[in-house]
Chains A and B, each alone.
Chain A
Amino acid sequence: MQISTNIWHWFMAASILAMFSFLYKENPFYRVAEHVFVGSTAGHALGMAIGNIHRFGWRPFFEQSKYSLLIPLVLGIMLYARFIPKINWVSRWPIAFLVGVGVGQSIYTSLRTQVINQTLGAMIKIQGATLMQTVNNLIGILGLIAVLTYFIFSIQQKGVVRRVAHGGRWLMMVTFGVSFGNVVAGRISVLLGQLQNLLGTWLGII
């Protein structure tokens, strides 16, 4: 056993233990760690934002004469109008611009990835090399129909539609169960990482 003499390792260990103490209940140690964490990341984000404005806006505009940056700079300044009650409506313009760009950017990519590519993926040859493969392909196609039926909202779920939609729901639940197991295994590796920090980096036991 060789306990670390690095002050940052002690800080790391104290933070991990404070976070783990939440498993007992919400307590002052957790509260301190929580506030330090939230505060420091908020401060880091502010620093990054100021750095970005300087790097991508201020410097290119004033030092490299990239005057086209005037538009984003002005839009950025307009955002701060929300702190002045008389003209706080001005801040809605850059927000509207951001929203417009956001929707515009995602609209085609969503159609491409979530509709066209998914449809392409479902167009498989049903008969496989083995019987199990054929059954698997059939489950794929029928599953797609059942799950999509569940997500049809303007048709009331009655009779056959209801049965098919219920089948889709069951399929999703099975998928969620599999996914749950996979992610839990992933989380255990995160826990192991923290234990390694405590027992290895800090205490030097392992």
Chain B
Amino acid sequence: MKLVAGNIFGFWMFLVVAIFTLVLINYSKSGKINITLRKIAGLEAIEESIGRATEMGKPIHFSPGLGDIIGATAAETFAALEVLSYVTRMSAKYNAELVVTIRQPNVFPLAQESVKQQYMAAGKSDMFKEDTVRFLSNQQVAYTTGVVGFMHREKVAANIMAGLYMGEALLLAEAGAQIGAIQVAITASMTQLPFFVAACDYTIIGEELFAAGAYLSQDRIKLGGIAAQDYIKLAVMATAVAGALLMSSGSNFLNRLLVK
């Protein structure tokens, strides 16, 4: 077996990152290290928004975004589904009605299963209804049109949007703002973040989406994964600075190593 040129460094880095992550996960799982995540204010606001929906007797809307479970958008969708589990738990705790709208057919069974299981775990299976999770359309604009109409008709009190978003981000957030819903947006879609920042009450940005699952569940395995990512970020910072300094002094050693 021969490694393809251009992917040699990537392959070895992948192995190192994978082993390092597994080691930290094991350490965290066995309690050898205690990981405490910094406060993420927007995530604390989810419970507040659900509490408000309960007081108003109006539903909560959750969207896991436009991403699929296959391909480059998978990570964001899985992170969004973790947030959905938490939202469902909170909705069961406060007896608030939850409606989940779906764009990707592949995400539908996962979301439905997740919501059903969380309600069962909370001993409130009766809160799950066939239309709690709704597939609207796999066409981006049609999905948005459906969500906007639904939010206005049902006058949702809380609108929680997590996952991948594209051009429809502002339309969804604007619709929520018009009806006075408390809005929490959680996305790593850099091009759509400005709209969420402008139109939502709380915006959880970038990598915070991926930390959300660990933060909300305080699961030791997930916390281990987050800690590993943090160390990788520190390594990236050190490499970038070292690379820039080397380049400035006339050496492109690190550049050549990374493109190998």
> Taking beta carbons and an 8 Å cutoff, which residues of A are in contact with B?
19, 22, 25-26, 30-31, 33-34, 37-38, 40-42, 44-45, 49, 79, 82, 91-92, 95, 98-99, 101-103, 105-112, 115-116, 118-120, 122-127, 137, 141, 144-145, 148-149, 151-157, 172-173, 176-177, 179-180, 183, 187
Give the interface size class of chain B. 35 or more
**A41 touches which of B78, B138, B234 (Cβ 8 Å):** B138
Name the distance in Å between B15's Cβ and chain A's nearest Cβ.
Answer: 11
**B74 touches which of A45, A102, A144, A172 (Cβ 8 Å):** A102
Q: List 6 A-B contacts (CB under 8 A).
A: A107-B14, A112-B10, A126-B247, A152-B230, A157-B38, A176-B193
Chain B residue at minimal CB-CB distance from A134: B248
Give the residues from 1 to 30 in chain B that come closer than 8 angstroms, CB to CB, to chain A. 7, 9-10, 13-14, 17
A185 and B7 CA atoms in complex are apart in Å by 39
- Give the residues in chain B near A145, CB-CB below 8 Å: 237, 240-241
20 extra interface residue pairs, beta carbon distance < 8 Å, beyond A45-B137, A123-B246, A180-B194: A34-B146, A98-B69, A99-B74, A103-B74, A103-B75, A105-B70, A110-B72, A115-B236, A119-B240, A119-B258, A126-B248, A141-B241, A144-B237, A148-B233, A148-B236, A151-B208, A153-B37, A155-B230, A179-B191, A180-B195
> Taking beta carbons and an 8 Å cutoff, which residues of B are in contact with A?
7, 9-10, 13-14, 17, 35-38, 40, 68-72, 74-75, 78, 105-106, 109-110, 113, 135-139, 141-143, 145-146, 148-149, 152-153, 170, 190-191, 193-195, 197-198, 205-208, 211, 215, 223, 226-227, 230, 232-234, 236-237, 239-241, 243-248, 254-255, 258-259
CB of B207 within 8 A of CB of A151, answer yes
CB of B70 within 8 A of CB of A177, answer no
**B10 touches which of A25, A26, A116, A187 (Cβ 8 Å):** A116
- Give the residues in chain B near A106, CB-CB below 8 Å: 71-72, 74-75
Name the distance in Å between B108's Cβ and chain A's nearest Cβ.
Answer: 10
CB within 8 Å: A-B pair count: 184
A157 and B236 CA atoms in complex are apart in Å by 19
Q: A103-B74, A179-B190 are in contact. Are A116 and B9 (CB under 8 A)?
A: yes
A144 and B238 CA atoms in complex are apart in Å by 11
Interface of A is mostly: helix
CB of A34 within 8 A of CB of B145, answer yes
CB of B191 within 8 A of CB of A183, answer yes
CB of B258 within 8 A of CB of A120, answer yes
Name the distance in Å between B44's Cβ and chain A's nearest Cβ.
Answer: 14
CB of A124 within 8 A of CB of B75, answer no
**B234 touches which of A92, A99, A152 (Cβ 8 Å):** A152
A172 and B40 CA atoms in complex are apart in Å by 16
- Give the residues in chain B near A149, CB-CB below 8 Å: 237
- Give the residues in chain B near A144, CB-CB below 8 Å: 237, 240
CB of A119 within 8 A of CB of B236, answer yes
A41 and B106 CA atoms in complex are apart in Å by 16
Q: A151-B206, A176-B197 are in contact. Are A123 and B70 (CB under 8 A)?
A: no
Name the distance in Å between B200's Cβ and chain A's nearest Cβ.
Answer: 12
- Give the residues in chain B near A122, CB-CB below 8 Å: 240, 243-244
Chain B residue at minimal CB-CB distance from A178: B194
- Give the residues in chain B near A109, CB-CB below 8 Å: 72
Name the distance in Å between B177's Cβ and chain A's nearest Cβ.
Answer: 14
Chain A residue at minimal CB-CB distance from B242: A123
CB of B237 within 8 A of CB of A108, answer no
- Give the residues in chain B near A156, CB-CB below 8 Å: 36, 38
A99 and B255 CA atoms in complex are apart in Å by 34
CB of A111 within 8 A of CB of B230, answer no
Q: A26-B153, A42-B137, A144-B240 are in contact. Are A82 and B74 (CB under 8 A)?
A: no
A44 and B138 CA atoms in complex are apart in Å by 10
Name the distance in Å between B116's Cβ and chain A's nearest Cβ.
Answer: 11
Name the distance in Å between A77's Cβ and chain B's nearest Cβ.
Answer: 14
Chain B residue at minimal CB-CB distance from A43: B137
- Give the residues in chain B near A127, CB-CB below 8 Å: 248
- Give the residues in chain A near B69, CB-CB below 8 Å: 98-99, 102
Sort A-B residue pairs by CB-CB distance and give the 10 closest, nearest first.
Answer: A123-B243, A180-B194, A176-B194, A26-B152, A41-B139, A122-B240, A41-B142, A102-B70, A102-B74, A151-B207
